[in-house]
């Protein structure tokens, strides 16, 4: 069974731009969660989507948003990029609620 895939793997943007990252969950998984990892803050939860609805949200500004499609694939968007948004963005999927999450390889975003 294929794992969680994320595209692109690497991305370079400049301040003020916006970016969209994509995540394809494991087949049959309906929950997709997003995390941000930086050297200073570690791994932090961004939000979770289940059946195309945001079910849970972390403490991030409104510049960070996401959505989920009917096939469970998810995208996250960051608008008006700041230097501090440089991070590894990780996506994790699970079947439903109380189930193990499996992570993708991440997208490394660099903001110049």
Residues binding another protein (CB under 8 A): 4, 31, 33, 35, 42-45, 48, 50, 55-56, 58, 88, 90, 92, 94, 97-106, 108
Q: Which is nearer to another protein, 10 or 79 (CB)?
A: 10
Q: Which is nearer to another protein, 13 or 45 (CB)?
A: 45
Q: How far apart are CA 112 and CA 99, in angstroms?
A: 38
Give residue 18's region: left, alpha or beta (phi > 0; psi -120 to 50). Answer: beta
Q: How far apart are CA 24 and CA 39, in angstroms?
A: 26
- State in angstroms the smallest separation of the CB of 83 from another protein: 19
- State in angstroms the smallest separation of the CB of 102 from another protein: 6
- State in angstroms the smallest separation of the CB of 100 from another protein: 6
**Three-state SS letters, 35-60:** EEEECCCEEEEEEEEECCEEEEECCC
Q: Which is nearer to another protein, 18 or 27 (CB)?
A: 27
Q: Which is nearer to another protein, 18 or 96 (CB)?
A: 96
Q: How far apart are CA 87 and CA 67, in angstroms?
A: 20
């Amino acid at each position: 069974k294929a794992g969680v895939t994320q595209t692109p793997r690497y991305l370079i943007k400049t301040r003020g731009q916006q970016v969209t990252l994509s995540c394809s969950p494991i087949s049959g998984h309906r929950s997709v969660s997003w995390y941000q990892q930086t050297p200073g803050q570690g791994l932090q939860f961004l939000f979770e989507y289940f059946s195309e609805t945001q079910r849970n949200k972390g403490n991030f500004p409104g510049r960070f948003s996401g959505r989920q499609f009917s096939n469970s694939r998810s995208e996250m968007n960051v608008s008006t990029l700041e230097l501090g948004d440089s991070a590894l963005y990780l996506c994790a999927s699970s079947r439903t609620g109380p189930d193990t999450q499996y992570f993708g390889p991440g997208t490394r975003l660099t903001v110049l």
